Amino acid sequence: MTTKNKTLAALAMAVAIAAPAAAQQSPQIDFKSVGRGAPVMVDAAALPVVGSTWQGGPGGPGVGPATNQPRTFVGSAPPGESPKGITPLARDMFTSDDFYKDKDLWSDPRYWRCNSTVAIEDAWTGRGTVGDKGPGTMAWGRCDADYPREAIVSPYPFKTAQEHWEALKAETAKRGGPTKHTYATVPGEWTGRYGRGFGDTWYGARKMQVSTMMSLLTPKYQTYLAQETYHQGNTNVAHWQSQYCWPEGFMRRWHAAAVRDHYITVTPQQVQIMTGVARNFITNILIGREFDMSGETPRLGADVPRWYGETIGFWDGDTLITWTANLIGWKVHAGFEYSNKMQTIEIYSPNHDASGNFVGLNHEAIFYDEDALVEPIRIVRNFTKSGELTEDAPYVFIECVQTIFPVNGKATPLTPGSKFEYEVLDMFGRPWSHLWEEYYEQGMERPEEEDIFNFENR
Amino acid sequence: MRYGPIKAWAVAASVFAVAPAFAQKMPDIGFKSVGRGAPLAQSVYDMPQEVGPNWIRGPGAQAGPDVKKPFPMNGYLPADVPKSYKPLPRDIFTSDDFYKDKDLWTDPRYFRCNSPQATEYQRGVLQRPGVNTSDKIEDAPWGHCEISLKREAIVSPYGFKTAQEHYEALKAETTKRGGPSVYTYANFPNAEWNGVYQRPGGANGAATQNNWYWGRHTQIPTVLSVLTPKYQEYMVQEAYHQVRGNALWPSTFCWPEGFMRRWYPAAVWEHYIIATPDLVNVRAGVARNFMQDTYIGREFNMEDVPKGGVPRLGPAVPRWYGDTIGFWDKDVLITWTSNIQGWKSHSEFEFSSKMQSIEIYTPIRENGKFIGLNHETILYDDEALATPVRIVRNLNKINNFSDTNEVPYPFIECVQTIFNVNGANTPLTPGAKLEYEMPDMYGRPWAKIWAESFEQGMSGPEDTSEDLFNFENR
């Protein structure tokens, strides 16, 4: 990290730590655990939005109904300008013709003009801040704000999900568990609908510099993140999985735009969580099961990765502790890609109000992925129970009907009867990347990747 | 329905008369109900053989040296057809326009006495090699004209015209019996329902779930007889194209399977059931997921019904697998599903968005031990069905979720590898390019492909539907 970067990072950290810490509720736990319930260091909701954006205005986007007030700019420099006190880089993602060559600049927030991945994803939309003269006139976000990396990485010392799981299980055993529930004792009050909001987390990516997200990733996955960010903000070619009815993938479950209400069904043997918007996310937690450890990754069934993995769990009283493995690596737009090695430890703890009434669940997730992550990370969020399953609209099981297709490498809405040249994509070979490479990276110096099917390399 | 022309039907009747009446047992519910538990008029298990034609082959059986007859056939090559069958001068295999043959559709000979499923065997679209080993479609083999499950065994034995009537009658009956039972977690008695139930085609699954809807034991006209004219035409259209090898199955293209494929053996494997006092969740699937969430104690919003709409729980938007409500009568779950997206089920009939079902899940016990669920379904669809029909099957429980050998449900995300290229289902590898036409998924996309690729010059259907988007009609 350059001296300039260190200064920016320190400034951002100072802003973050100064924010109130309690709003993003930490799990309610009455003992110090080896691997759960550590307080959330920084509440994302208390931090300012990092990226540049337009708010409000007649008929314009923003919070609340349209008014006759002019729209307002949020950021440090509007389109076409530079922020005071910041020296822009000679070359950044908005001016570069080859982001691969700029690898040494990716850790500098100025390469992204101090924008978040979400602000860059929005760059070409109504609230986006690309100026009239194209990406080179992209506005600047706040260089003095950031979600601190220290609050993202796991507060626990474990290197693997297995270590973490075993430590939690041992701790629970010492506490007299795991608890074997029956219908009469299982927390049936968990069964119900949980409102679509789950609180602002760092993973919403509106409060975080791109360079901070980069710092969580291994070099290969940094390249993937840079590639997506470049195309979303520079070439204006987004490839989101849900627009093509591709699977959302495991980690989109934590992204606010991919899920709405969560429907939870609790039984002593299994806990099921359903949610989704464009596609379905289903989490089946099998209580009391053990993984088969004989293959590449822990698993329950066949040695074939599953889009949403396989999950085992146990109860410690009214807390549910789970381990997910055997999932398919994929992407999260405005987030980062992850590999088949991704595993999670997730803890669901009941939240109670001052009177002791159950009001929802704290969901703490620690992510392990030695291919994608340089160290484990954590996301904490809170689900508020909004009703019983005996009330209101049921979960809508989604069958996505594709209406947007990649035509000449660009997402294009079509109507029935439209004809175009369709290329069959390799769904297990980063299909989004293929589209970018084929149509929008001509002449770029892309690093070589290992070709497992090239026998000359054997 | 004209069964008269064929004397073979008399033969069939005599075959069935000697079979045990209720071999596929319904559970003994201990009382005579107004709308559940009625015995089957005839069970497919009582039938000595399938209609055919199909190869007689056991698991792993290798083909013999004669490529024209690699296995023994359950059925007849045209040259071997019994004289009593009296082939028609024009049938589905010789016709150049099935639309013109409408008057023949009620005659099993028009289909050479093929069962619905046999239409998928003819050219090997379901299982290779096809039973028609000739390069001429008119050489198609025959099934057994003397065999068919009785129509009475298909139609609902209850007198209800609508699912609503049926549900209300069952609810009133349950009320008289002291119900519906309202459970909490503290007193929930049906924990034993939780677990995994055997797949239909698995080792012994076929012995518990086989029913007429699998399409092996009926003549095609028997099924046509429960359909309205429009849906008869849809079914014949599919049969016509399938026997020529031009099958268009939703799952081939990663399209939704649709509500009724849940009863079809090839579309589901194990069933995973989660039971709670408020919700019972049934999951199954192979190429796509089937999800039935029964919301216990809920009532449908009926405001659209007087205007021709359907009962629903959420917004007035049909759902691929509908909305389902239910109630407990002690350990029996009685459900009503509505607000379904109309679609198709290949080798069986298409259905409309008016489709509704009453489904009853009744525990099966052996010496008092819970061993599975009897699943009785009565289907109502006043657009597609001329009369309500019933499907009964048994789901055998094989695992608890906590069993170490239980394999979790793999939630399916279908990745398309087969594409329609000039009407032909074509497996393609990544990098292949094709001219792709975006289908209208709510306008029978399979029919459009058939019409464009294989129905040039046919008289075509009489389109009596209103074109909502034709402003000249306004």
**B247-273 pLDDT, tens digit each:** 999 999 999 999 999 999 999 999 999
Residue B23 pLDDT greater than 60, yes or no: no
DSSP at B141: P
In a domain? residue B385 = yes
Span of A197-201, A344-348, B300-304 with lowest mean pLDDT: A197-201
Would you say residue B348 has pLDDT above 50? yes
Q: B147 with B82: CB under 8 angstroms?
A: no
- Between A425 and B1, name the one with better pLDDT: A425
Quick check: A293 contacting B, CB < 8 Å? no
Dist. CA A185–CA A187, nearest whole Å: 6
- Per-residue pLDDT at A9: 46
Residue A149 has pLDDT above 50, yes or no: yes
For residue B264, being part of any structural domain is answered with: yes
Domains plus CATH for chain A? 3-150 (no CATH), 152-202+246-387 (2.40.128.20), 404-457 (no CATH)
Q: Cβ contact (<8 Å) for B409 and A184?
A: no
pLDDT band at A451 (very low <50, low <70, confident <90, very high): low
State the pLDDT at residue B26.
87
Torsions phi, psi for A166 (to 5 deg): -65, -35
C-alpha span between B411 and B288 (Å, rounded)? 8
pLDDT digits (tens, 9 = 90+) for B215-244: 999 999 999 999 999 999 999 999 999 999
What single-letter amino acid sits at B393? R
Name the average pLDDT for chain B: 91
Residue A60 has pLDDT above 80, yes or no: no
**Smallest Cα distance from B125 to chain A, Å:** 23
> Nearest-CA distance from A192 to chain B in Å?
9
Contacts of A310 in chain B (CB under 8 A): 408
pLDDT at B14: 33
Q: How far apart are CA A30 and CA A37, in angstroms?
A: 9
Backbone CA torsion sign across B245, B251, B257, B262 = positive
- B381 is a domain residue: yes
B136 within a domain of the structure (yes/no): no
On whether any CB of chain B is under 8 Å from the CB of A34, the answer is no
Q: Which of B194, B422, B436 to mutate to test the interface with A (most CBs of A within 10 A)?
A: B436
What integer pLDDT is reported at residue A196 of this predicted model? 84
pLDDT digits (tens, 9 = 90+) for A358-389: 999 999 999 999 999 999 999 999 999 999 99
Cross-chain residue pair B256–A399, CB shorter than 8 Å:
yes
- Residue-level pLDDT at A69: 72
State residue B200's pLDDT score.
87
- The shortest C-alpha distance from A232 to chain B (Å) reads 24
Region B77-83: mean pLDDT is: 96
**Does any domain span residue B3?**
no
Is position B430 within any domain?
no
Q: Testing the interface with A: which of B188, B251, B413 to mutate, by most A Cβ within 10 A?
A: B413
Read off the pLDDT band of B18 (50, 70, 90): very low
Asked whether residue B413 is domain-assigned, the answer is no
| pLDDT for A28 | 82
Domain that holds residue B369: 163-399
Torsion sign, CA atoms B410, B412, B413, B416: positive
Over residues A275-296, the mean pLDDT reads 96
CA-nearest residue to A401 within chain B is B441
Number of domains in chain B: 1
Write out pLDDT tens, residues A186-236: 999 999 999 988 888 999 999 999 999 999 999 999 999 999 999 999 999
Per-residue burial over B212-243, b if 16 or more Cβ lie within 10 Å, else e, is bbbbbbbbbbbbbbbbbeebbbbbbbbbbbbb
CA distance A73 to A76: 9
User: How many angstroms away from the CA of B1 is the closest CA of chain A?
Assistant: 38
| Domain presence at residue B267 | yes
| Mean pLDDT of the B95-105 span | 98
